[in-house]
């Protein structure tokens, strides 16, 4: 209609807001829900545990004069977490001038021997002793000291537990991100493909092919003794390989006008078969231990897994490409109306070829990450992944009819799927039920999209 | 003359449709503020108005696609409440939409009886259906094979199938939305013959059209809509063309074709022996500042010529010269690089990308010039866009408005802006005013004049003879893929002259 009242444009902008950020709202609601249902007693760990226990001890002794302060015995098991705990605890106790009688770390036997030596040496005051240890180690400590008269009456202090949702623990959130990294990386390419009004069913098989290729190549180039350089080369080799296969799909689709569904259905079989041929049906294990760095490693500075960082960098790059470059504009245009785009001078075939090639490369990268996570490459990897990837894209609000969708929406879609899976694991929902719920979520997302579009159409009419 | 006040419906003939006090609003838009319409048995009633005047919405209220907010709809004297498409259908309302709603892969017969198959116990009685189809076609005076797939028929014949389908369903009232938009003059004549015979058989026909000549040729009464309200209903004989336009736009239009001859310069485009598709050896040349009209019946190959020059279809043989030099054009991209552009007839299907914003549509062919090391310079893009919006007077709410939400005239302007941005020298318009309203048509003619004055070479393909006579400097007429004649003196040219050449 010719008249455009302010109310109409307000409704429209509300609808636009909802359509762009509605899924983010769903993700947040899911987060809140799983936070509420997973509130449990949590034990602090590492440095936090040390600091909290030191504060606890300080407040316990604060009403006594310093002469009456107890001597602290710090007992902890071995390992990174325990040494962080011990370091933080002892630094803060000495800062407050509380005497640390001794610090013993190791397995129960070592602790027992250490305590024995201490009691024999007679350097301890004997009367005012207090034992500081971690929550999980306390029962063992209690067991050990009952046999030793000097220590038997010493009070044992452990860091206080606190109420907090298991879902919201930093370790769990990073776990969620790490779990979804491979699917999310593939979904970047799939979003582009689906925006062009296409589909690529071969990505699951490309994961397997790439994982087999990278692990097999590393096996050739030094096996367990392969250098970092060799591993990087093999990774890029695998990515290039799957990129070529993606380009081949693109060629079949553009040159011979085979519908993408059919072309990539064929390539799905071809790629899977190739993975079995290359590996002779057996997994490749001959990779160095350092190969897992990509999939399982954590950046020491930020504390974020490398796979998650890689995923975030890819999303940022793809978002910029789709919104700020001519190529991105062409991808939307082709999906919106391929013939109109061609008549506007867009090189439709070239762009489509590039998109399928990029998608193949991203699937290859996903395969390399998965091989690194699992420290091997097997032709069985990535089975059914194409469906999870497509689900992430669709839940993220990209329309299967092409022309619209947002890269960042897909990231949200991937996280929605990951959060639902993780939340159901935390609340002990069995895996069969999980499948049903996940399927319903995908249907719900599509239904929401339909309703939204119908609403928009009504407004236009 | 001054327009007489709207006349009451003549008495005597029974009313097939009566709509009173209809209102219909959508969030943010009052589509119909006052809808009053009566269609009698045995009359052809034209519903006219500019795009967006509310004609389609009013029709959708009759067919039950929309429920009115207020008002009363009576079909055959009985009120239709809780309207839904089935109720209107059963009450005897048949609708033939602009986009035909047939299934192309099915046979004519299957389409005619779709949803009302004849036969018993779930089986089909093909013989009965075929006999009924042939009988209906013979009553309409047309010869269509009931077993042919609909997709193989011309648009005109598909339309006849739709009419037959509505009649087979015992529709007394036929509603036709722009039935002549895709027809050649001869087909229009035939269609009008059929409509006239339906009128004498007591059917009522409600007919929406932008072509005022046709309205006066066939309609008994005319209802005008403007800005969501029915302005009035007059017997066609009481109105002149000028009166009608004045009622439609709310102001008088001085002149329908404001032709200004531009300075004609050197040859910008020459084609020799162009062959491909339906086109068989077409040659002509086009000069700077010239408006060349390309006339002919639908299917004569006019659009094909345009698509060949633009590289949209493969050239079988022939040469294309730009500024006297031979060029190879094998894709639209090549043509665009040669400064040739095409505004397709099907703006929504082949021109715009409806799901992208107006801004994105404008710059689509021109993104290279906004790219800085691969990144789009979006502020430069926006400032160029604003320049074009103001110079072409494109009406939109924001650069981010979806192209699909613009009116036909503004969509056409957006496409023109796209190619001006690209500095096109040769501009081919395929049916530039199809489906756009009177006011916007006038603006389009002014724009074509202005482009010619600025030294562009222009080809206009049009099925509307007054239009092509009114805006061209020279006219080529095509018949069955070849140029059958050229009209260089437009001062003496007549519609009959073009028609003679067009029919071969």
Q: Are strands A162-165 and A156-157 parallel, antiparallel or unpaired?
A: unpaired
pLDDT confidence of residue A14: 62
pLDDT confidence of residue A116: 85
pLDDT confidence of residue B293: 95
* pLDDT confidence band for A288 (50 / 70 / 90): very high
Q: Does B364 touch chain A (CB under 8 A)?
A: yes
pLDDT for A7 beyond 70? no
Beta carbons within 8 Å of B466's beta carbon, 6+ residues apart: B213, B256, B257, B495
pLDDT for A126 beyond 60? no
Distance CA B489, CA B478 (A): 17
pLDDT for B203 beyond 60? yes
pLDDT tens by residue, A327-378: 999 999 999 999 999 999 999 999 999 999 999 999 999 999 999 999 999 9
Distance CA B209, CA B464 (A): 13
* pLDDT confidence band for B458 (50 / 70 / 90): very high
Distance CA A104, CA A155 (A): 17
CB contact at 8 A, A176 and A415: yes
* pLDDT confidence band for B7 (50 / 70 / 90): low
Q: Which of A14, A196, A324, A345 would best serve as a mutation to test chain B binding (most B beta carbons within 10 A)?
A: A345
Q: Which of A9-13, A422-426, B23-27 has the lowest mean pLDDT?
A: A9-13
* pLDDT confidence band for B220 (50 / 70 / 90): very high
Question: Which residues of chain B lie closer than 8 angstroms to A4, CB-CB?
Answer: 28-29, 397
pLDDT confidence of residue B63: 83
Q: Which residue of A has its CA nearest to B334?
A: A345
Q: Which residue of A has its CA nearest to B398?
A: A9
Question: Which residues of chain B lie closer than 8 angstroms to A339, CB-CB?
Answer: 349-350
User: Which chain B residues in 50-79 lie under 8 Å from chain A, judged by CB atoms?
Assistant: 52, 54, 57, 66
Pick the residue with more confidence: B356 or B29?
A: B356
Could you give the 3-state DSSP secondary structure of residue A236?
A: helix
| Cut 0.80: pTM above it | no
User: Which chain B residues in 312-331 lie under 8 Å from chain A, judged by CB atoms?
Assistant: 312, 331
When CB atoms are compared, the residue of A325, A337, A458 closest to B353 is A337
The H or E element spanning position B475 is: strand B474-479
Distance from CA of A92 to the nearest CA of B (A): 53
Please answer yes or no on whether A346 and B360 come within 8 Å at the CB atom. Answer: no
Please answer yes or no on whether B29 and A345 come within 8 Å at the CB atom. Answer: no
Q: Does B399 touch chain A (CB under 8 A)?
A: no
* pLDDT confidence band for B413 (50 / 70 / 90): confident
Bridge partner list, A102: A73
pLDDT for A4 beyond 50? no
CB contact at 8 A, A85 and A136: no
When CB atoms are compared, the residue of A12, A329, A460 closest to B367 is A329
How many helices and strands, by DSSP H and E, does chain B display?
Answer: 17, 22
Q: Which of A35-44, A94-103, A233-242, B244-253 has the lowest mean pLDDT?
A: B244-253
Instruction: Determine phi and psi for B180, rounding to 5 degrees.
Output: -100, 0
Distances (CA, A) of A41 to A132, A135, A138, A142, A166: 20, 12, 16, 22, 9
What count of other Cβ atoms lies within 10 Å of the Cβ of residue B21? Answer: 11
pLDDT for B269 beyond 90? yes
Distance from CA of A331 to the nearest CA of B (A): 11
Instruction: Determine phi and psi for A237, rounding to 5 degrees.
Output: -60, -45
* DSSP track, A238-252: HHHHHHHHHHHHHHH
Average pLDDT over residues B239-259: 76
Q: Does B352 touch chain A (CB under 8 A)?
A: yes
Please answer yes or no on whether A2 and B52 come within 8 Å at the CB atom. Answer: yes
Question: Which residues of chain A lie closer than 8 angstroms to B331, CB-CB?
Answer: 342, 347
Q: Are strands B340-343 and B15-26 parallel, antiparallel or unpaired?
A: unpaired
pLDDT confidence of residue A23: 80
Q: Does A347 touch chain B (CB under 8 A)?
A: yes
Beta carbons within 8 Å of B52's beta carbon, 6+ residues apart: A1, A2, B407, B437
* pLDDT confidence band for B483 (50 / 70 / 90): very high
When CB atoms are compared, the residue of B29, B66, B363 closest to A1 is B29
Pick the residue with more confidence: B230 or A11?
A: B230
Distance CA B221, CA A163 (A): 80
What count of other Cβ atoms lies within 10 Å of the Cβ of residue B114? Answer: 13
Please answer yes or no on whether A336 and B26 come within 8 Å at the CB atom. Answer: no
Average pLDDT over residues B441-449: 88
Burial B270-288 (b: 16+ CB within 10 A, else e): bbeebebbbbbebebebbb
Distance CA A302, CA A324 (A): 29
Longest dimension (CA), chain A: 97
First-last CA distance in chain B: 41
pLDDT for A460 beyond 50? no
pLDDT tens by residue, A396-424: 989 888 888 899 999 999 999 999 999 99
Average pLDDT over residues A274-278: 96
Distance CA B225, CA B92 (A): 24
Q: Which of A340, A354, A454 would best serve as a mutation to test chain B binding (most B beta carbons within 10 A)?
A: A340
Q: Does B367 touch chain A (CB under 8 A)?
A: yes
When CB atoms are compared, the residue of B31, B364, B371 closest to A333 is B364
Q: Which residue of A has its CA nearest to B345?
A: A340
* pLDDT confidence band for B336 (50 / 70 / 90): very high
Q: Which of A238-247, B54-63, B480-489 has the lowest mean pLDDT?
A: B54-63
Question: Which residues of chain A lie closer than 8 angstroms to B333, CB-CB?
Answer: 345-347
pLDDT tens by residue, B208-217: 887 888 899 9
Specify the residue for token string 């950020």: A21
Pick the residue with more confidence: A45 or A1?
A: A45
Average pLDDT over residues B358-375: 88
Torsion angle in degrees (nearest 10) through CA of A76, A78, A83, A84: -90
Please answer yes or no on whether B376 and A324 come within 8 Å at the CB atom. Answer: yes
Q: How many CB pairs under 8 A join A and B?
A: 115
The H or E element spanning position B223 is: strand B221-226
Q: Which residue of A has its CA nearest to B32?
A: A1
Please answer yes or no on whether B371 and A326 come within 8 Å at the CB atom. Answer: yes
Average pLDDT, chain B: 86
Pick the residue with more confidence: A304 or B30?
A: A304
Tokens in use for A353?
């070829």
Q: What angle do CA B181, B186, B192 make, to 5 degrees?
A: 70
Instruction: Determine phi and psi for A360, rounding to 5 degrees.
Output: -60, -40
What count of other Cβ atoms lies within 10 Å of the Cβ of residue B67? Answer: 13
Written in H, E and C, the secondary structure of B399-423 is CCCEHHHCCHHHHHHHHHHHHHHCC
Q: Does A7 touch chain B (CB under 8 A)?
A: yes
Please answer yes or no on whether A345 and B365 come within 8 Å at the CB atom. Answer: yes
pLDDT confidence of residue B1: 40
Distance CA B95, CA B192 (A): 17
pLDDT for B436 beyond 80? no
Distance CA B206, CA B223 (A): 10
Average pLDDT over residues B123-140: 86
Distance from CA of B349 to the nearest CA of A (A): 7
pLDDT for A322 beyond 90? yes
Question: Which residues of chain B lie closer than 8 angstroms to A403, CB-CB?
Answer: 353, 355-356
pLDDT tens by residue, A179-231: 899 999 999 999 999 999 999 999 999 999 999 999 999 999 888 888 999 99
Specify the residue for token string 């990087």: A232
Specify the residue for token string 């000097």: A150
pLDDT tens by residue, A64-82: 887 788 888 888 888 888 8
Tell the burial category of B123 from Cβ atoms under 10 Å away from its Cβ (0-12, 13-18, 19+): exposed
Please answer yes or no on whether A336 and B355 come within 8 Å at the CB atom. Answer: yes
Beta carbons within 8 Å of A363's beta carbon, 6+ residues apart: A186, A189, A200, A202, A203, A206, A207, A210, A242, A246
When CB atoms are compared, the residue of A336, A458, A460 closest to B405 is A460
Q: Are strands B204-208 and B325-327 parallel, antiparallel or unpaired?
A: unpaired
When CB atoms are compared, the residue of A11, A341, A344 closest to B28 is A11
* pLDDT confidence band for B343 (50 / 70 / 90): very high
Q: Does B25 touch chain A (CB under 8 A)?
A: no
CB contact at 8 A, A204 and A391: no
Distance CA B353, CA A341 (A): 7
Tokens in use for B362?
């404008």
Average pLDDT over residues B250-279: 83
Q: Does A341 touch chain B (CB under 8 A)?
A: yes
Q: Which of B356, B369, B401, B408 would best serve as a mutation to test chain A binding (most A beta carbons within 10 A)?
A: B356
pLDDT for B11 beyond 90? no
Q: Which residue of A has its CA nearest to B364?
A: A344
Average pLDDT, chain A: 88
Question: Which residues of chain A lie closer than 8 angstroms to B54, CB-CB?
Answer: 1
Q: Which of B59, B367, B401, B418 would best serve as a mutation to test chain A binding (most A beta carbons within 10 A)?
A: B367
Q: Which residue of B has its CA nearest to A349?
A: B331
Please answer yes or no on whether B353 and A333 come within 8 Å at the CB atom. Answer: yes
Average pLDDT over residues B164-182: 86
When CB atoms are compared, the residue of A4, A5, A343 closest to B350 is A343
pLDDT confidence of residue A261: 96
Q: Does A145 touch chain B (CB under 8 A)?
A: no
Question: Which residues of chain B lie closer than 8 angstroms to A325, CB-CB?
Answer: 371, 374-376
pLDDT tens by residue, A335-345: 999 999 999 99
Question: Which residues of chain A lie closer than 8 angstroms to B376, CB-CB?
Answer: 324-326, 329
Average pLDDT over residues A301-317: 93
Q: Does A416 touch chain B (CB under 8 A)?
A: no
Distance from CA of B145 to the nearest CA of A (A): 33
């Amino acid at each position: 209609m010719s008249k455009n009242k302010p109310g109409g444009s307000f409704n429209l902008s509300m609808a636009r807001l909802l359509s762009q950020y509605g899924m983010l709202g769903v993700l947040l609601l899911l987060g809140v829900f799983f936070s509420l249902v997973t509130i449990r007693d949590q034990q602090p760990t590492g440095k936090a545990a040390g600091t909290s226990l030191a504060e606890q001890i300080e407040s316990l002794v604060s009403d006594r004069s310093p002469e009456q302060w107890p001597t602290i015995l710090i007992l902890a098991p071995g390992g990174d977490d325990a040494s962080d705990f011990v370091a933080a605890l002892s630094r803060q106790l000495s800062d407050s001038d509380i005497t640390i009688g001794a610090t013993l770390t190791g397995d129960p036997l070592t602790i027992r021997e250490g305590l024995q030596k201490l009691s024999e040496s007679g350097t301890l005051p004997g009367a005012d002793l207090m034992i500081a240890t971690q929550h999980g180690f306390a029962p063992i400590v209690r067991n050990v000291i009952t046999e030793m008269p000097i220590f038997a009456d010493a009070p044992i202090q452990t860091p206080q537990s606190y109420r907090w949702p298991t879902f919201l623990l930093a370790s769990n959130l990073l776990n969620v991100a790490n779990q979804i990294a491979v699917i999310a990386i593939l979904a970047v390419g799939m979003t582009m493909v689906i925006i062009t009004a296409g589909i690529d069913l071969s990505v699951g098989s490309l994961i397997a092919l790439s994982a087999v290729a990278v692990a097999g190549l590393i096996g050739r180039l030094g096996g367990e003794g392969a250098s970092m350089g060799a591993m990087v080369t093999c990774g890029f080799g695998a990515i290039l390989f799957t990129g070529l296969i993606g380009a081949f799909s693109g060629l079949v689709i553009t040159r011979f006008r085979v519908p993408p569904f059919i072309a990539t259905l064929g390539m799905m079989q071809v790629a899977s078969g190739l993975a079995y041929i290359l590996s002779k049906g057996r997994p490749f294990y001959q990779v160095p231990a350092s190969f897992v760095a990509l999939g399982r490693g954590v950046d020491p500075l930020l504390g974020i897994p490398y796979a998650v960082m890689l995923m975030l960098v890819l999303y940022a790059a793809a978002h910029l490409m789709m919104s700020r470059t001519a190529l991105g504009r062409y991808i939307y245009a082709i999906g919106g109306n391929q013939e109109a785009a061609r008549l506007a001078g867009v090189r439709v075939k070239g762009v489509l070829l590039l998109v399928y090639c990029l998608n193949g490369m991203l699937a290859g990268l996903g395969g390399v990450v998965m091989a690194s996570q699992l420290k091997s490459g097997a032709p069985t990897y990535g089975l059914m992944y194409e469906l999870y990837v497509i689900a992430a894209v669709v839940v993220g609000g990209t329309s299967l009819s092409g022309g619209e969708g947002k890269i960042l929406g897909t990231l949200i879609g991937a996280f929605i799927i990951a959060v639902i899976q993780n939340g159901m694991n935390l609340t002990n929902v069995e895996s069969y039920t999980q499948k049903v719920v996940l399927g319903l979520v995908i249907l719900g997302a599509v239904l929401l999209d339909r309703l939204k579009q119908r609403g928009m159409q009504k407004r236009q009419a | 003359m001054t327009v007489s006040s709207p006349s009451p419906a003549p008495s005597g003939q029974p009313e097939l449709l009566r709509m009173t006090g209809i209102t219909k609003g959508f969030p943010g838009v009052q589509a119909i503020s006052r809808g009053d319409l009566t269609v009698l048995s045995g009359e052809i009633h034209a519903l006219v108005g500019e795009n967006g005047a509310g004609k389609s919405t009013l029709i959708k209220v009759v067919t039950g696609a929309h429920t009115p907010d207020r008002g009363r709809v009576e079909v055959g004297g009985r009120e239709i409440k809780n309207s839904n498409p089935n109720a209107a259908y059963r009450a005897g309302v048949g609708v033939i939409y602009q986009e035909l709603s047939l299934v192309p892969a099915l046979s004519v017969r299957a389409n005619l009886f779709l949803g009302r198959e004849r036969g018993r116990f779930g089986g089909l009685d093909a013989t009965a259906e075929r006999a009924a189809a042939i009988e209906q076609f013979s009553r309409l005076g047309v010869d269509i094979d009931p077993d042919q797939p609909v997709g193989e028929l011309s648009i005109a014949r598909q339309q006849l199938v739709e009419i037959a389908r509505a009649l087979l369903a015992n529709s007394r009232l036929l509603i036709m939305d722009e039935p002549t938009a895709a027809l050649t003059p001869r087909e229009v004549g035939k269609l009008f013959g059929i409509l006239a015979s339906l009128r004498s058989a007591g059917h009522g026909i409600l007919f929406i059209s932008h072509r005022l000549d046709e309205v006066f040729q066939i309609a008994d009464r005319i209802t005008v809509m403007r800005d969501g309200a029915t302005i009035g209903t007059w017997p066609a004989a009481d109105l002149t063309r000028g009166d009608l336009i004045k009622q439609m736009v709310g102001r008088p239009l001085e002149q329908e074709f404001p032709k200004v001859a531009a300075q004609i310069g050197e040859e910008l485009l020459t084609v020799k022996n162009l062959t491909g598709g339906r086109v068989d050896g077409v040659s002509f040349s086009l000069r700077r500042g010239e408006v060349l009209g390309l006339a002919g019946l639908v299917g004569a190959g006019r659009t094909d010529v345009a698509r060949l020059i633009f590289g949209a279809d493969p050239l079988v043989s022939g040469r294309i010269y730009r500024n006297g030099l031979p060029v190879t054009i094998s894709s639209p991209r090549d043509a665009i690089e040669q400064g040739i552009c095409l505004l397709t007839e099907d703006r929504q299907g082949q021109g715009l990308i409806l799901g992208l914003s107006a801004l994105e549509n404008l710059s689509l062919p021109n993104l290279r010039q906004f790219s800085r090391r691969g990144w789009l310079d979006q502020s430069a893009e926006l400032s160029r866009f604003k320049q074009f919006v103001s110079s072409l007077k494109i009406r939109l709410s924001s650069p981010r408005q979806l192209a699909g939400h613009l009116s036909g005239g503004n969509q056409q302007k957006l496409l023109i802006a796209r190619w001006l941005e690209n500095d096109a020298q040769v501009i081919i318009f395929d049916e530039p005013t199809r489906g756009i309203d009177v006011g916007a048509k006038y603006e389009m003619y002014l724009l074509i004049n202005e482009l010619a004055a600025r030294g562009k070479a222009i080809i206009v393909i049009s099925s509307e003879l007054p239009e092509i006579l009114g805006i061209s400097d020279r006219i080529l007429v095509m018949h069955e893929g070849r140029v059958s004649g050229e009209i260089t003196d437009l001062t003496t040219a007549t519609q009959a002259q073009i028609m003679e050449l067009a029919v071969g």
